[in-house]
Amino acid sequence: MTWQDAAGAPGSTSSGLFDGGFSWGLALLAVAGFIALLIVCSLGFLARLRDRAAEREEREAIQRLQDRAT
């Protein structure tokens, strides 16, 4: 069975989104996917920046404690 056979199986419905090649629905879906990808990547990048800043502050705090102890 191919995917074309499965798509026409009884009980399945067609949304019409991918019928007829290029459509504005397909373009909108692609743009929405790209924007979602940008958001996820940006949030990951920002989380890593915050982690590095927290690590830097932790190292500085440890260094200050060591300086006070000596």
* pLDDT digits 0-9 by tens, 16-64: 656 666 778 888 999 999 999 999 999 999 999 999 999 999 999 999 9
Inside any domain, residue 16? no
Within a domain: 51 = yes
Q: Which domain holds residue 54?
A: 37-70
pLDDT at residue 24 in the model: 82
Distance of alpha carbon 61 from alpha carbon 70, whole angstroms: 15
Distance, in Å, from the CA atom of 68 to the CA atom of 10, rounded to the nearest integer, reads: 77
Quick check: is 31 in a domain?
no
Inside any domain, residue 65: yes
The answer to whether position 25 is within a domain reads no
Residue 1 has pLDDT above 60, yes or no: no
Q: Is residue 61 part of a domain?
A: yes
Q: How far apart are the first and last CA of the chain?
A: 76
Q: CA–CA separation, 5 vs 20, rounded Å?
A: 18
Please state whether the predicted TM-score (pTM) of the whole model is above 0.85. Answer: no
* Structural domain includes residue 29: no
Q: Is the Cβ–Cβ distance between 47 and 38 less than 8 Å?
A: no
Number of independent structural domains in the chain? 1
User: What's the mean pLDDT in 6-19?
Assistant: 62
